[in-house]
């Protein structure tokens, strides 16, 4: 698999530009994120396999595509809010903030790469935390300004089927449900 670093760089620059545009009250947060973990975000995969974003730059590409799909829901919710949460909802897939704590590391086993198509594996040195919870950690760490609806959409972004989100399963949460639908459309197109 050949990596197109120019395309990855272009996506990353677009991602940072979108963060600045949609988080005008959190420019310091965007600057801090870019300074502290920008290099990691630049090349971060979003999953283990190429078909689900397990490629360099897969995390940023997924965030941008999910934000684009969110436009479909603009009749029902504030589209700016959906773009905001779509752009940051999987920051937790970076792993921990310390060096050597990336959630995904390159798969070294030829067998796993060839037979299973798995180009990454989970990093055993990364502290265990759900993606949504680690995302909320990054939101707080960098100081992104969110309202309750946005916070809830991020907290439940993995889906209502998970134990920590079942409390909200029977609620009407338009932003959270729209984010989940946009994620679904993005995954279907991968």
Q: At 162, list the tokens.
A: 């998970």
119 forms beta bridges with none
pTM of the predicted model as reported, rounded to 2 decimal places: 0.93
Whether residue 2 has pLDDT greater than 70 = no
Summarize the confidence of residues 17-32 as an average pLDDT: 97
Render the burial of 99-114: b for 16+ CB within 10 Å, e for the rest.
eeebbbbebeeeeebe
Count of domains in the chain? 1
CB atoms within 10 A of CB 173: 17
DSSP 8-state class, residue 102 = B
pLDDT band at 144 (very low <50, low <70, confident <90, very high): very high
Domain range spanning residue 52? Answer: 5-188
CB atoms within 10 A of CB 70: 27
Q: At 156, list the tokens.
A: 């439940």
């Amino acid at each position: 698999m050949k990596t197109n670093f120019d395309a990855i760089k272009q996506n990353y620059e677009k991602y940072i530009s979108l963060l600045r545009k949609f988080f005008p009250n959190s420019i310091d947060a965007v600057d801090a994120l870019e300074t502290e973990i920008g290099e990691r975000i630049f090349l971060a995969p979003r999953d283990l396999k190429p078909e689900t974003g397990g490629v360099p730059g897969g995390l940023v590409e997924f965030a941008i595509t999910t934000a684009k799909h969110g436009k479909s829901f603009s009749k029902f919710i504030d589209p700016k809010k959906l773009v905001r949460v779509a752009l940051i909802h999987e920051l937790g897939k970076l792993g921990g903030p310390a060096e050597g704590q990336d959630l995904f590391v390159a798969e070294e086993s030829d067998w796993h790469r060839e037979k299973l198509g798995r180009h990454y594996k989970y990093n055993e040195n990364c502290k265990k935390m759900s993606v949504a919870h680690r995302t909320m950690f990054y939101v707080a760490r960098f100081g992104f300004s969110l309202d309750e609806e946005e916070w809830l959409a991020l907290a439940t972004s993995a889906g209502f089927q998970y134990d920590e989100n079942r409390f909200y399963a029977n609620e009407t949460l338009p932003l959270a449900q729209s984010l989940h639908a946009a994620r679904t459309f993005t995954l279907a197109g991968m």
